[in-house]
Chains A and B, each alone.
Chain A
Amino acid sequence: MHSGGDQLTNSSETRTVQLTIHNELSEIEQIRDAVDRLGGELNVPTRSLIQLQVALDEIVSNVIRHAWPSGGAHQFRVRVTLGPKAAEVEVIDDGKSFDPRHAPPPPDLPAGEELPAGGRGLAMLSQLVDSIGYARVDGCNRTTLKKNW
């Protein structure tokens, strides 16, 4: 399913894709495929592109899972700009206020002790990117990521 709003901006050294997606996990495929395509065009190092893809999955899936606790259909915007040395991500949603910079570190327990199944993604996020920004603007969460390579 494609939600529309896909805009691609190219220059000689940067590529930007902006998507408007629904709050459904299947929509993440659109972002993944677009970033793959742009990363290939700019020869982004494989390890960096993988870490960017994981970071995008964590931040976008967190919005989809938690931004609207009462459910219902919602849309939000994701913009990814890839350059020769870095990527910048902006996610804007009108869900409940949430600052991803305040995620706790992941627990690391020995085998045999039961771990909670969730709550690890945002802790990983801070290890995957170089900076995380957040602001609440006009009733929306504006989360930004930057990853250098």
Chain B
Amino acid sequence: MAQSALDIAETRHGPICVLSLSGRIDSSNASTLSTSLAALFEAGEKAVVVDFASIAYLTSAAFRALLVASAQAEKNGARMVLCGIVGQVRELFEMGGLLKAFNIHASRDDACTQLG
């Protein structure tokens, strides 16, 4: 099984901020994701990509964090898109009824192009 911790790496592609997530997101650590996303929007970021390609699995705690962040982005006039939603992670998004709730792109490049 994959690593227990949730790691969040931040990189910049011009005006776009990319958060690359790895590990797993569950009720014990989803607040870390919430805090990171909230800090970005509070700092004035207007274009954020959240990359799930290295996430082994997530629970509804992650969905809660993403929905709150999405509302905050909209309130701040920012855009947040997701990528790397494949395999088990995609299946869990589907179970949560959330595939249509976010702007999801096939790859990081596609996501950055959309926001660029």
A interface residues (Cβ-Cβ under 8 A, vs B): 25-29, 32-33, 36, 39-40, 46-47, 49-50, 53-54, 57-58, 60-61, 64, 105-111, 113-118, 120-121, 123-124, 127-128
Contact A29 B57 (CB under 8 A): no
Which chain B residues border A115 with CB–CB below 8 Å? 67, 98, 101
CB distance from A5 to the nearest CB of B (A): 18
* Contacts across chains A and B counted by CB atoms under 8 Å: 94
Q: Closest residue of chain B to A40, judged by CB?
A: B1
Whether the pair A29, B101 counts as a contact (CB closer than 8 A) is no
Question: Of the candidates A28, A105, A117, which one forms a contact with B64 in the assembled complex, judged by CB atoms under 8 Å apart?
Answer: A117
Contact present for A109 and B88 (CB under 8 Å): no
Contact B27 A39 (CB under 8 A): no
User: Distance in Å from the Cβ of B49 to the closest Cβ of chain A?
Assistant: 16
Given contacts A26-B28, A28-B28, A36-B4, contact A58 B88 (CB under 8 A): no
Q: Is B68 an interface residue (CB 8 A)?
A: yes
B60 touches A121 (CB 8 A): yes
Query: Contacts of A116 on B, CB cut-off 8 Å?
Result: 67
Cross-chain contact B61 with A61 (CB below 8 angstroms): yes
Is the beta-carbon distance between B27 and A57 smaller than 8 angstroms? yes
A54 with B97: CB separation less than 8 A:
no
Bitwise, B32-74 to A at CB < 8 A (1) or not (0) is 0000000000000000000000001111110110011001000
CB atoms of A53 and B28 under 8 A apart: no
Q: How far is the CB of A82 from chain B (nearest CB, A)?
A: 13
